[in-house]
Amino acid sequence: MTIATPAGRAKTRHSPPSTPPQDWRGMPAALSRTLEMVFFAHMELADASDRILEEHGLGRPHHRVLYFAQLSPGITVGELTTLLRITNQALSRTMQQIVQQGLLEQRYCAEDRRVRRHYVTERGTALLEESKARQFAVIRKAHLACPQGDIEAFWRTLTLLSRPEDLVWISRHPGASTPPPAAPPEGDIP
């Protein structure tokens, strides 16, 4: 294709290569593909547990609260709102529903009666274990198809896509073998 330049000279534009260049990390197509792949992977994992949640009249917000309450027994509303990046109002109805269903227990803090701590009940644990089993089956299938180095590179990518304060949850999880790497300095992010 020939394009006229401001000086009036003709310039030839080359068609994009059929294979990506060696360093494709910052190219728009690669960024778009990463965004789409993360979206579809998230949807696949969410779908794996949605059917179980629907049987109990629950949705993804309920699942998130139960998941993090199980990871951190005694978690407060303030900690949940910070972690889930939602308002107290948005969390209130979700919490009320799972407490009423007997999936989550609220206990007042002995030191400060204004603070309620949250614990997943046996029923909540059973629901989470069934949900995780379905999600783990999806993940296991992918893991078995990849060399270990690819999995570690994938974890590193997801780590770098996450906020440092959220990575604390990953390092607290029993499956974490090493602490997450430090986030890159702000100047290194395009």
| Predicted local distance difference test score (pLDDT) of residue 119 | 97
Question: What is 134-182 written as a DSSP string?
Answer: HHHHHHHHHHHTS-HHHHHHHHHHHHHHS-HHHHHHHHHSTT--SPPPP
pLDDT tens digits for range 99-135: 999 999 999 988 888 889 999 999 999 999 999 999 9
Domains in the chain: ranges and CATH: 47-172 (1.10.10.10)
pLDDT above 80 for 22: no
Place of tokens 């394009």: 3
pLDDT tens digits for range 132-156: 999 999 999 999 999 999 999 999 9
Q: Which of 9-18, 169-178, 179-188 has the lowest mean pLDDT?
A: 179-188
Report the chain's terminal Cα–Cα distance, integer Å: 31
For 71, residues 6+ apart whose C-beta sits below 8 A from its C-beta are 169, 172, 173
Q: Give the confidence band of 173 by pLDDT, cuts at 50, 70, 90.
A: low
Contact 20, 27 (CB under 8 A): yes
- Per-residue burial over 161-170, b = 16 or more CB atoms within 10 Å of its CB, e = otherwise: eeeeeebebb
Contact 60, 50 (CB under 8 A): yes
pLDDT tens digits for range 64-84: 999 999 999 999 999 999 999
